[in-house]
Amino acid sequence: MLEHLRRRPVPWNYQKSRDLAPYAFERKVPLTALRAACLSIPTETGRSANWEVVQMVRAASAGREVRCHATPDGLFRVRRDLAIRVAANFYFVEGERTKILWLQPRRGYALNEAQLGMFGALARMALLVEHFETAELEILDLSAPEPKAARVSRILHLSDLPAVSDDDVEAAIQRVVSAYDAIVAMNLDWDALRGRTTKRKDRPSDQPDMGF
């Protein structure tokens, strides 16, 4: 884990396409405007990857009439000082049905089937609660099946995901708790660990996001 944390972060990410996803999915903002937003990303790789994702999000909603709305991330409170964040991109209303969409934009290093099953279990506990208790979950997975293959767009529902037992969920959460406690006990200088020249105020976080 420490070796992973020591790696310098990749100079781009998918945050832009995540931000643009509801506008692309709702199909009311022209593609030219969405592309212009992607062109603001500093790196060529970041621009092309995010633009590819935005186009695939737009294509995934073809033939659907939806209204998209922002939704807060879900928090599964493990204990008073620790919560697991399960990010959601947006929710939309289709007909009279409310659905939460989670976008998986990575070409590679995406969640495998077992990890998707674990995500589904956490989503039930952290996202499909309170006002969204009766909502459905859609996962828009844009990963590539092979390292050099093209992306394949697929929409998954909870019923499509592998079943995960309560014992497996409890064991996974316990691993997060143990790792969190071990790292906090080290009293690490996060900025020095990642080779940052400026301080970040949001580390350490008490809301690990489990890579979701």
Query: What mean pLDDT do residues 176-192 have?
Result: 85
Domains of the chain, by residue range, sit at 2-193
Query: Does residue 55 contact residue 21 with C-beta atoms inside 8 Å?
Result: no
Residue 92 falls in which region: left (phi positive, over 0), alpha (psi -120 to 50) or beta: beta
pLDDT class of 194 with cuts at 50, 70, 90: low
pLDDT of residue 8: 67
pLDDT higher for 212 or 113?
113
Main-chain dihedrals φ then ψ at residue 191, nearest 5 degrees = -70, -40
pLDDT class of 207 with cuts at 50, 70, 90: very low
pLDDT higher for 148 or 98?
98
Judged by DSSP in three states, 76 sits in: strand
pLDDT of residue 205: 47
CA separation for the pair 189, 26 (Å, rounded): 43
pLDDT of residue 200: 52
pLDDT of residue 210: 42
Q: Which residues contact 28 (CB under 8 A, 6 or more apart)?
A: none
Judged by DSSP in three states, 93 sits in: strand
CA separation for the pair 66, 125 (Å, rounded): 25
Task: Give the long-range contacts of residues 157-162, CB within 8 A, separation 24 or more.
Answer: 158/120, 158/123, 158/124, 161/113, 161/116, 161/117, 161/119, 161/120, 162/113, 162/114, 162/116, 162/117
pLDDT of residue 19: 96
pLDDT class of 1 with cuts at 50, 70, 90: low
pLDDT of residue 109: 84
Packing angle of the helix pair 44-60, 31-38 (nearest 10 deg)? 150
- Whether the CA torsion 59, 65, 66, 67 is positive or negative: it is positive
Residue the block writes with tokens 């691993």: 175
In tens, the pLDDT along 130-167 reads: 999 999 999 999 999 998 899 999 999 999 999 999 99
Query: What mean pLDDT do residues 88-92 have?
Result: 93
Q: What is the DSSP letter of 119?
A: H
- Nearest alpha-carbon partner for 54 in 83, 70, 31, 74: 31
The CA radius of gyration of the chain, in Å to the nearest whole number, is: 18
- Nearest alpha-carbon partner for 90 in 23, 150, 148: 23
Average pLDDT of the residues of the chain: 88
In tens, the pLDDT along 20-77 reads: 999 999 999 999 999 999 999 999 999 999 999 999 999 999 999 999 999 888 888 9
pLDDT of residue 143: 95
Strand partners, 154: 141
